[in-house]
Amino acid sequence: MSWAVGSDPYSVHQLGRGIAVLKSLLKAIVRKKVYRDVWVILTNTIMLFLAANLTLAFLFLAKDKISSFGSNQEPARSIEQGKFDYTAYEGIVDQTYASAVLDDFNRLGRLGFVYQPWVQFSEPSYEGKLVNVEVDSLGFSKRKTRNEEHKEKSSRLRIFTFGGSTTFGYNVSDEHTWPSYLSDILNSRAEELGLDVRIEVTNYGRNSYYTTQEVLLLEQLLRRGQRPNLVIFLDGVNEGRSCMDEPWLTDKLRTAMHNLQFPVAKSFAEKIDWLPIARLAKAVNQRLFTPRGREHTNMPTHDCLYDLRNIPEKGVEAAVQYEHNIKIARFVSKLYNVETLFLLQPDARYNYPTELYRDQTFAKEFIQSYHRYNEMFYSKCKNIEGVIDLTNLFRLWGDGRKAIIDDIHYSPKFNHFLAQHVADQIRLGSLWRSLAAARSSAD
Q: What pLDDT digit, counting tens, does each position of 38-86 carry? A: 778 888 888 888 888 888 888 878 877 776 554 444 443 345 456 899 9
DSSP string computed for 323-389: HHHHHHHHHHHHHTT-EEEEEEPP-HHHHS-GGG-S-HHHIIIIIGGGHHHHHHHHHHHTTSTTEEE
Lowest mean pLDDT among 15-24, 48-57, 348-357: 15-24
Same domain for 119 and 12, yes or no, is no
Of 73, 108, 128, the position where a domain reaches its end is 73
Higher pLDDT among residues 360 and 183, named by residue: 183
144 pLDDT band (50/70/90 cuts)?
very high
Same domain for 55 and 119, yes or no, is no
Same domain for 41 and 113, yes or no, is no
pLDDT for 353 equals: 94
pLDDT for 242 equals: 65
Lowest mean pLDDT among 31-40, 123-132, 173-182, 303-312: 303-312
pLDDT for 9 equals: 63
Same domain for 171 and 307, yes or no, is yes
295 pLDDT band (50/70/90 cuts)?
very low
Range of the domain at 68: 7-73
Percent of the chain with pLDDT over 70: 85
Same domain for 230 and 334, yes or no, is yes
Same domain for 413 and 398, yes or no, is yes
Q: Which of 261, 262, 279 minimizes the C-alpha distance to 270? A: 279
Task: Quote the number of domains for the chain.
Answer: 2
* Inside any domain, residue 286: no
Same domain for 29 and 117, yes or no, is no
Same domain for 44 and 86, yes or no, is no
* Inside any domain, residue 294: no
* Inside any domain, residue 272: no
Same domain for 86 and 65, yes or no, is no
* Inside any domain, residue 267: no
Q: CA-CA distance, 428 to 83, in Å (whole number)? A: 38
* Inside any domain, residue 262: no
Of 15, 45, 73, the position where a domain reaches its end is 73
The pTM assigned to this predicted structure is: 0.78
421 pLDDT band (50/70/90 cuts)?
very high
Residue 153 half-sphere exposure toward CB, CA atoms < 13 A:
17
Q: CA-CA distance, 115 to 129, in Å (whole number)? A: 25
Same domain for 126 and 161, yes or no, is yes
